[in-house]
Structure 1
Amino acid sequence: MFEKLRIIFSIPELRKKVLLTIGLLAVYRIGFHIPLPMIATNMGDAAGGAASDFFEKVSVFAASDLRQATIFGLGIMPYISASIIFQLLGSVYKPLEELKKEGEAGRKKLNEYTRYLTVFICVIQSYMYLKFMLMAGGSTGYGNINPNFLNADATGLYFGWQVVAVLVMTCGTVFLMWLGEQIDEYGIGNGISLLIMAGILAQMPKALYELIRNMKTELTGLSRGQVGIETLILLVLLFVGVVFGVVFITLGQRKIPTQSAKFTRGRRVYGGTRQHLPLRINQAGVMPIIFASSLLMIPGVMFGFLAGRFESGGGVFNVMNLFSLTLSDQTSYIFNLLYVALIFFFCFFWTAITFNPKEMSDNLRDSGTFIPGYRPGKRTTDYLEKVMVRITYVGAAFLSIVAIVPTIVYGSLGVPYSIAGFYGGTGLLIAVSVAFDLVQKIDSHLVMRNYRGLLEGAGGGVSPVV
């Protein structure tokens, strides 16, 4: 491994890309610790347990810690939201669908629209974030704000400073978007994905410190809430097993055999070669877990907020509080059943949007390629759709298992969620996917110079066949 790293840094072009990427990620981490000047406390601590849990879960795929009101407080999530919106609209809105087919010019136009929508989302989210933080403070409702920034009547944050906070957080997200684009163009790897991965990995030292601090150097019989020697061994084995499963399914493909048609030119016969069409088992990627977890988090927080508006002990309060507790308790059967059902739904929904069997069938026909045993056209389309439905069941089941593994670890062993979150869910899937994408892009530079890849198997592109 050290020899391969030496080779990477011995290639001038690759060394420049890697160092630039590391430098830009360091800039992101520095800005992550610069707080807004009007903030006095940690937002997550003052907001209470439910809000703190909400910020902790959302921060996994936001490339930031929402419990810290910093200049990068919103992270990169507004840009991701804008990209998802345009991707969804591109499959149902005809002008955007035509724009996607215009090649590089259409892609630049879509990127421009995505940036505009990102700024709009940033303004809305930063304002709501600021208002929620103001309401989450102490007995006066302003415990999170530095008293020097309150208005003359001490009834709220001065309006001018509210505008400054919104503009600073909006500019912070736009700056992160620019950083990601610079990594795409001059660095190595996908810039936005690397920012998210850096945010996830940055939480690991804190989680490990918490695990070691609460660990006991004795046998505890796997008692809930106590981390003993056997609990630590079980956590290590479970982590290795989950990572192995994530890697296997992430690289897993269903390879459909194809054959190109033969044609004659002069006295020579061309074509007739056998190839394969790879279909990813986890076609939807990490998006179903993001959608499902977001959809389940918001109602729990909303019902808890509404319950606080009614008199404690009343009928409406009890109903709202019951819904809030049910949708916030990750160890409850109802929560996990809803979680799994939403993951299956969004798996098929996202696959139906991103995978077009008719378009793939037309491309095969236009290139003179066919699937043996199936006529080009409708029969090929139906076959591709049937295969994708079958493997989507496998991918959805895999995502469901990975999504509830942290809940099982958290509920059965009593391990803090900051530690259990690394055993599955969104963070682990993003980290593994981005790591393989980065390795493959580094390998492409090494292979061009007749070097072997970092990982001869997985990194070189060899995937398990299902």
Structure 2
Amino acid sequence: MLEKLRIIFTIPELRYKVFLTLGLLAIYRIGFHIPLPMVSASESGGASDFLERVSLFAASDLRQLTIFGLGIMPYISASIILQLLSTTVPALAELKKEGQAGQKKINEYTRYLTVGICVVQSWLYLSFVLTTTGTGGEGNINALFLNADGTGLAFGWQLTAVMVMTCGSVFLMWLGEQIDEHGIGNGISLLIMAGILAQMPKALFELFGSMEPKLTGLQAGNFGIETLILLCVLFVSVVVGVVFITLGQRKIPTQSAKFTRGRRVYGGTRQFLPLRINQAGVMPIIFASSLLMIPGYGLDFIAQAFDNDNSFAKLLRTMSGPLLDQASFVFNLMYVVLIFFFCYFWTAITFNPKEISDNLRDSGTFIPGYRPGKRTTDYLEKVMLRITYVGAGFLSIVAIVPTIVYGSLGVPYSIAGFYGGTGLLIAVSVAFDLVQKIDAHLVMRNYRGMLEDAGGGVSPVV
């Protein structure tokens, strides 16, 4: 492995791409240490817990207001919205079929939509921070930026904060595109992974700082040797599972038709059509966790508007309790149901069996035992439904294990979430994609790939 790493830095073009990518990621991390001078976010109460969960998927730290406070999530949201609309809006569907020119136009629409989402999210986020302590948020505002009567942040400075955070997210979008074009790997994915990995050392330090070097019997809130061993086992298990599922494929045999040209016969070769087991990736977990947070915090927020003795407020708190308690059976059951739903939903959006069937027929390729056309489409859809069930089950296990550890052992979410959950799933998946792209450069120059000895070129078949 050390020899292969040395080879990477001996190739001038690849060395330039790697250093450029590292430099752009360093700029990305530096921006998270440049706070807005007007406001400092509050880390008290349930707000801190809520912001911590959202920060995991936004590749940012929403607990403090910085120039990159929104992270790259507005661009991801805009991309998801355009991708969903391209399946329902005829004009966008036609652009998608135009190839590179159409995709360039869709990317332009995505940038415009990103700016709009940034403005809305930054304004809502700023309003949320200003209401966390005191009327108008005086406890969070720098005294130099208060209104003339000292009751809140001046409107002009609010607009300035919104513009700065909007420009910060747009700049991150530009950084991701520069990595795509001049660096190595998927730029947006690398930004998300860098945000997750940057918070892992803090979580690890927090774990060892609160751990007691003795046996505690896995008591909630007491971090002993058993807790450390359990977290290590979860870490290794999730990494192994993510690697297996990420590389796992259902290979469908295909055969091209024979045709004669002159005195020679061409075609007739047997190939495989690979279908990924986890076709939806990590998106179902992001959708499910985001959607599951809204009812609990929403009901609790509405209940705060009434007196504690109000019967309606008690009903709302009774309903929001199981949704906010990650150790509850109701929370985990709804979490699994939503993950399965979004797995099938996202797969239906991104995987089009009819389009694949038409492409096979146009290229003179068919699946043995199935006629081209509707029968091939139905077969591909049936296979994808079955393997999606396996992928959804795996994502459900990865998602609920940290919530169970968080609720039953009292381990902080910053630890349970990163060392055995979604953060680890994203990091491992993006790392594999990065290594595969580096391997492509090495193989093109007649070098052996980094994962060649480890079986990186062979995917598990189901």
TM-score, normalization by structure 1: 0.97
Equivalent in 110, 113, 126 of residue 130 of structure 1: 126
Q: How many residues align structurally?
A: 462
How far apart are 1:459 and its partner, in Å? Answer: 7.5
AA aligned opposite 2:9: F
- What is the alpha-carbon distance in structure 1 between the residues aligned to residue 10 and residue 217 of structure 2? 51
Contact 2:146/2:153 (<8 A) preserved = yes
Q: Aligned partners of 1:194, 1:296: CA distance in 2, in Å?
A: 26
Per the TM alignment, residue 308 of structure 1 is displaced from its structure 2 partner at its CA by 1.2
Which residue in the other structure is 1:361 paired with? 357
Q: Deviations over 1:265-323 (max 9, x none)?
A: 12211111111100001011111111100101122222121111111121121122223
1:105 alignment partner, one of 79, 101, 104 = 101
SS at structure 1 position matched to 2:133: coil
Report the alpha carbon displacement of residue 457 of structure 1 after superposing the two structures with TM: 5.6
Deviation for aligned residue 1:141: 3.5
Q: 1:435 to 1:209 in 2, by over 3 A?
A: same
Q: Which moved more, 1:175-184 or 1:411-420?
A: 411-420
Structure 2 CA distance for aligned equivalents of residues 440 and 100 of structure 1: 26
- Runs of 4 or more consecutive aligned structure 1 residues displaced over 6 Å after TM superposition: none
Aligned-residue identity in percent: 78
Secondary structure of the residue that 1:285 maps to in structure 2?
A: coil
- In structure 2, give the amino acid aligned to 1:32: F
How far is 1:465 from its partner? 0.5
Which among 228, 249, 255 is matched to residue 232 of structure 1?
A: 228
Q: 3-state SS of the aligned residue for 2:137?
A: coil
Aligned-partner Cα distance in 1 for 2:182–2:137? 46
Preserved CA contact (<8 Å) 2:242 2:425: yes
1:26 and 1:362 map into 2 onto residues whose CA distance is 45
Measured after TM superposition, the shift of residue 381 of structure 1 is: 0.6
Distance in 2 of aligned mates of 1:423 and 1:459? 25
- SS of 2:320's equivalent in the other structure is helix
Match of 2:240 among 241, 244, 249: 244
State the one-letter code of the partner of 1:37: P
Post-superposition offset of 1:231: 2.3
Query: Could you say what secondary structure the match of 2:415 adopts?
Result: helix
Q: Does 1:336 align with 2:335?
A: no
- TM (normalized to structure 2)? 0.98
How far apart, CA to CA, are the structure 2 residues paired with 1:193 and 1:178?
A: 13
Q: In structure 2, the residue corresponding to 1:203 is in which secondary structure?
A: helix
Determine if contact 2:31/2:68 at 8 Å carries over to the other structure. yes
Per-residue deviation, 1:452: 1.1
Displacement of 1:44 after TM fit? 4.1
CA distance, structure 2, for counterparts of residue 180 and residue 459 of structure 1: 30
Mapped contact 2:234–2:420 kept (Cα < 8 A): no
Report SS of the residue matched to 1:422.
coil
Query: In the alignment, which residue of structure 2 is the partner of 1:81?
Result: 77
Instruction: Indicate if the aligned counterparts of 2:59 and 2:191 stay in contact, CA closer than 8 A.
Output: yes
Over residues 396-435 of structure 1, what are the superposed CA-to-partner deviations in whole Å (9 max), with x where a residue is unaligned?
1111111101012212322211111024443122111110
Corresponding residue for 2:383?
387
SS in 2 for 1:269: strand
Structure 1 residue 5: deviation in Å?
1.3
Pick closer, same or farther for the CA change 1:409–1:302 going to 2, 3 Å: same
Which of 162, 168, 173 aligns to 1:177? It is 173
State yes or no: 1:274 paired with 2:281: no
Counterpart check, 1:206 vs 2:202: yes
Structure 2 distance, partners of 1:378, 1:424, is: 42
In the TM superposition, residue 49 of structure 1 has moved relative to its aligned partner by 2.5
Which amino acid in 1 is paired with 2:21? T
Residue 370 (structure 2) pairs with residue 370 (structure 1): no
| Unaligned stretches of 5+ residues in structure 2 | none
Which residues in structure 2 correspond to 1:275-424 (within 5 Å)?
Answer: 275-424=271-420
Superposition deviation, residue 341 in structure 1: 0.6
CA deviation profile, 1:151-210 (whole Å, cap 9, x unmatched): 011121101100100000000000000000000011000111000000000011111101
RMSD between aligned residues: 1.3
Is 2:34 the partner of 1:34?
yes
